[in-house]
């Protein structure tokens, strides 16, 4: 009896067949065919550049005119210039369904009111689930929310011959904080360098540089500022590194990390609501005690699986809202780290979320794209002065999803809802 799973046997058999026909070099080795002709990289976008790229694509791929029209529709081509600052080799737009939930009442330090929240997704049942979470939270008086910390990290690294040289370098950094701050902030009107923390590992020094970024998400802002800071160090520090790099993969940029979980990257937001038992039974059709029982099981599951934080599905709301409002969707990787709590308290069930890495903006990046700008307008959160409010609304929306999914699973509705809304519709 074989101890290998069937999938392994199938893979081995496929390899034997392919290698018998072609040999290793013929199938898996480097190809001797001439390399494909490079596609020119176009940074501008207009009707002429779009047509030129599509001429190559249709010749090489055989994509139909109908397929081309789905991506390069007349409006997308006519407005090509509106996208030029956000992409290279522009060929059109991808249309993703956009739904809306709400009004969601948020009683935040920055977001105060009833918000319609746009969500771009192809997953049926998702908007419905978040929508019922929004309904019950609004019925309960709304969600309390607050941005409690802000700071986008960039972490350059410097390599020296030995530990002693690292010590001299760190001492120079401490003595020249003011000059380093000035060098970094000279590159931006809105960014502020609020912390430099050296982290030493034998012959290497990482500098944790934390910035506030105004109403922008600030990824590019902090990179440019940190480059200027590093240039100042190289030009003025008497201790010269053997090597240095503007980012050393320590900041948690677009990655789930312990650093982000504890110190935060972007905006740290906490939100909470208490739902009375009768509201839970009426609007979620769930039993509060069953929800608490499931919460204990899910908490243990988070621990046993090694999850960074403990939550059900922040990424669903984050991806949908980030895409709808022009955020960097890759930042969902770090933004989805966080903690959901459920507790039995006087008056019902207490729910909270704490999300240390909500990396969003209401200016810059993709927020000025036509559809994304309109989605921010729908929320009343477009432009300067709204980034903190957007972060509070997003955390509140994430909690709506946590409440809804816990209720659905605990009540046995989860599979039926997805079957009805996703498979049968």
Question: Which residues are catalytically annotated?
Answer: 123, 328, 418
What's the 3-state SS for the chain?
CCCCCHHHHHHHHHHHHHHHHHHHHHHCCCCCCCCCCCCCCCCCCCHHHHHHHHHHHHHHHCCCHHHHHHHCCHHHHHCHHHHHHHCCCCCCCCCCCEEEEEEEEEEECCCEEEEEEEEECCCCCHHHHHHHHHHHHHHCCCEEEEEEEEEEEECCEEECCCHHHHHHHHHHHHHCHHHHHHHHHCCCCCCEEEEEEEEEECCEEEEEEEEECCCECCHHHHHHHHHHHHHHHHHHCCCCCCEEECCCCCCCCCCCCHHHHHHCCEEEEEEEEEECHHHHHHHHCCCHHHHHHHHHHHHHHHHHHCCCEECCCHHHHHHHHHHHHCCCHHHHHHHCCEEEEEEEECCEEEEEEEEEEECCCCECHHHHCHHHHHHHHHHCCCCCCCHHHHHHHHHHHHHHHHHHHHHHHHHCCHHHHHHHHHHCC
Q: Is the dihedral of CA 363, 369, 374, 375 positive or negative?
A: negative
Q: Hey, what are 375's tokens? A: 């989605």
Please give the Cα distance from 196 to 225 (Å, whole number): 13
Nearest to 215 by CA among 264, 266, 175, 176: 266
Nearest to 166 by CA among 121, 199, 132: 199
CA distances from 251 to 149, 234, 261, 367 (A): 16, 21, 11, 24
Phi, psi angles (nearest 5°) of residue 143: -100, 130
At which residue do the structure tokens 């780290």 appear? 337
What is the number of alpha carbons within 13 Å of residue 306 lying toward its C-beta?
2
């Amino acid at each position: 009896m074989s101890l290998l799973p069937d999938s392994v046997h199938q893979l081995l058999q496929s390899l034997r067949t392919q290698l018998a026909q072609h040999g290793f070099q013929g199938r898996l080795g480097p190809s001797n065919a001439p390399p494909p002709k490079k596609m020119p990289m176009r940074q501008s976008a207009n009707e002429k550049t779009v047509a030129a790229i599509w001429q190559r694509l249709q010749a090489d791929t055989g994509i139909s005119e109908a397929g081309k029209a789905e991506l390069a529709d007349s409006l997308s081509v006519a407005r090509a210039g509106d996208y030029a600052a956000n992409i290279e080799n522009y060929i059109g737009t991808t249309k993703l369904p956009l739904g809306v939930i709400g009004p969601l009442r948020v009683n935040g330090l920055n977001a105060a009111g009833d918000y319609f929240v746009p969500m771009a997704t192809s997953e049926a049942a998702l908007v419905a689930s978040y929508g019922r979470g929004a309904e019950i939270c609004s019925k309960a008086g709304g969600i309390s929310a607050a941005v409690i910390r802000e700071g986008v990290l960039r972490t350059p690294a410097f390599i020296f011959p030995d530990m002693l040289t690292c010590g001299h370098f760190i001492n120079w950094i401490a003595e020249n904080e003011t000059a380093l701050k000035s060098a970094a902030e000279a590159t931006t009107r809105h960014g502020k360098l609020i912390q430099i923390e050296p982290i030493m590992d034998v012959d290497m020094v990482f500098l944790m540089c934390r910035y506030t970024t105004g109403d922008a998400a600030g990824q590019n802002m902090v990179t440019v500022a940190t480059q200027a800071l590093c240039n100042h160090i190289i030009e003025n520090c008497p201790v010269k590194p053997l090597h240095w790099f503007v980012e050393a993969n320590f900041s948690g940029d677009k990655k789930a990390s312990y650093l982000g979980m504890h110190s935060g990257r972007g905006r740290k937001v906490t939100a909470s609501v208490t739902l009375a038992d009768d509201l839970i039974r009426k609007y979620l059709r769930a039993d509060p005690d069953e929800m608490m029982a499931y919460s204990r099981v899910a908490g243990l599951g988070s621990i046993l699986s090694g999850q960074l934080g403990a939550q059900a599905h922040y990424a669903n709301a984050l991806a949908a809202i980030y895409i709808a409002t022009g955020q960097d969707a890759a930042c969902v990787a770090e933004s989805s780290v966080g903690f959901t709590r459920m507790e039995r308290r006087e008056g019902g069930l207490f729910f909270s979320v704490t999300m240390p890495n909500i990396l969003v903006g209401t200016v810059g990046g993709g927020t000025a794209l036509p559809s994304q700008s309109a989605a921010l307008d729908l929320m009343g959160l477009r432009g300067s002065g709204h980034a903190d409010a957007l972060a509070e609304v997003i955390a509140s929306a994430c909690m709506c999803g946590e409440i809804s999914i816990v209720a659905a699973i605990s009540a046995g509705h989860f599979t039926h809802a997805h079957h009805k809304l996703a498979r049968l519709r």
